[in-house]
Amino acid sequence: MVGMVGGFCAGLLFSAGWRTDTTRPALAQATRAGALSVADVAERTVASVVNISATRKAVSRSPAFADPFFREFFRHFGPGMPSPRREQSLGSGVIVSSDGLVVTNNHVIKNAARIRVTVAGKQEYVAKVVGKDPKSDLAVLRLKGAKNLKAINFGNSDKLRLGDVVVAIGNPFGVGQTVTMGIVSAKGRANVGIVDYEDFIQTDAAINPGNSGGALINMSGELIGINTAILSRTGGYQGIGFAIPSNMVKPIMGSLLKRGRVIRGWLGVSIQQVNRDLVRALGLPTAEGVLISDVDPTGPARRAGLKRGDLVVKINGQPVSSVGRLRNLVASAGASAKIQVEFFRRGKKLRSTVRLAELPPKLGSNAAPRTGKLGLAVAELNAQGIRQKYNIPLRLKYGVVVVQLDPSGAAAGAGLREGDVILEANRAKLGSVRRFSEILRNANRKYLFLVYRQGATLYVIVQN
């Protein structure tokens, strides 16, 4: 079972089955003609990687408060409810303009009341959030009063090859700037389950807690990724790290700077991965591609003539090998963009030009809007990728899934966890997110939830 431990300093994934070769190539083999040495790369770029300290409000809790019974007991007879306190996290960021623009991970600065950034281990700045995009885990900061900083140049992450040497720079464990070296182990990792939009570079360069938001750099001294997460059994580095590629970072950063938000393209289809059973059952000519399982009657795909059962194999000439790859290509193209879709229909290869629309807010995530009074967001049980991400068995036919929690909210305080399936609310079965929202609106301040968690069910009382 793969799960994510969300930290303020780094995203951590745990797995029992993934492996990678962490053998370090000799430095003489690592450099090609025209490339720099590792020492040259570090010398040129380390000053462009900053330390980020984010302070946020949190609530101090005894483990007893996670149990609804003891929570009610302490409310009436105990020493009082948990009191607010402040938490501080450390992360990294990358200077991308001399006047103080910094790119980092969204989870590094999430819910921060105050952000301070230290440049080159000396000068400290107060930072303002220009924009953030939780769906890709990116954020852009501006350092107040900064000028003449050393900015890093963007490289072309599409040109990376497996085995290319890369350097990771960050601030692991808050000990100061560190440099590690590794290789590109894989590209296009789109089904990791960290965020909604993934196209990760996988590397064996050591990325530890605190490296989140730091730089992944090629041997020409260019930024080709933002370090984001590691795959680990222990929480420490075990040879598998993930970075958001620079060619994904640049358009998202540009949209955040221009509009304060990311405007993604929308094709208007439901899609699924192809397997051998589907190939046989539908008579598909190949297993390479993504199957359209439904078409929105008002969406761009319908207007362009795409139909259910079409097998999409290329977008703008680029092969589509997975659901994540298709979503990324469409989203990054942006609203109003024209894309060329190559697909099979009944064994015949066809092409269509589609003018994309803007991704509707309600489709931008599997989560419903966060409810202010309870501090949680939920998703449809059968929303794309939800069952796989949270290991929910097919025998569960109804319910909504908790996909986000405010640590200081009533739901988290009552003991709800991300991945819980809420089967009933106030004795009513939940068939949809809409039904869940209706019950919350019409009920009093106290809610009785029947929750499925890891093979068992339990009742949880949430009181606002």
The confidence score (pLDDT) of residue 384 equals 63
| Residue 56 in tokens | 């946020």
Domain with CATH 2.40.10.120 in the chain: 1-20+41-261
DSSP string, 318-350: EE--SHHHHHHHHHHH-TT-EEEEEEEETTEEE
Average pLDDT over residues 164-174: 83
Fold of 265-361: Pdz3 Domain (2.30.42)
pLDDT for residue 29: 43
- Burial pattern 19-38, b for ≥16 Cβ within 10 A else e, equals ebeeeeeeeeebbeeebbeb
pLDDT tens digits, 131-165: 999 989 999 999 999 999 999 999 999 999 999 99
In this predicted model, what pLDDT tens digit does every residue of 283-318 receive, in sequence order?
Answer: 889 889 998 887 888 889 999 999 988 999 999 999
Domain with CATH 2.30.42.60 in the chain: 365-463
Selected catalytic residue, list 107, 164, 185, 406? 107
Query: Tokens for 54?
Result: 């984010």
* 97 DSSP assignment: S
Check if 212 is active-site: yes
Per annotation, catalytic residue among 212, 232, 332, 365: 212
Give the per-residue pLDDT at 249: 94
At 332, the pLDDT band (50, 70, 90 cuts) reads: confident
CATH numeric code, 1-20+41-261: 2.40.10.120
49 has a pLDDT exceeding 80: yes
Instruction: Provide CATH 2.30.42.10 ranges for the chain.
Output: 265-361
Q: Output the pLDDT for position 436.
A: 87
Considering the domain 365-463 in this protein, what is its CATH number? 2.30.42.60
User: Among this protein's residues, is 76 annotated catalytic?
Assistant: no
Q: Is 137 a catalytic residue?
A: yes
**Rounded to whole angstroms, how far apart are CA atoms 323 and 325?**
5
Mean pLDDT of 91-101: 94
User: Using 50, 70 and 90 to split pLDDT, how confident is the model at 380?
Assistant: confident
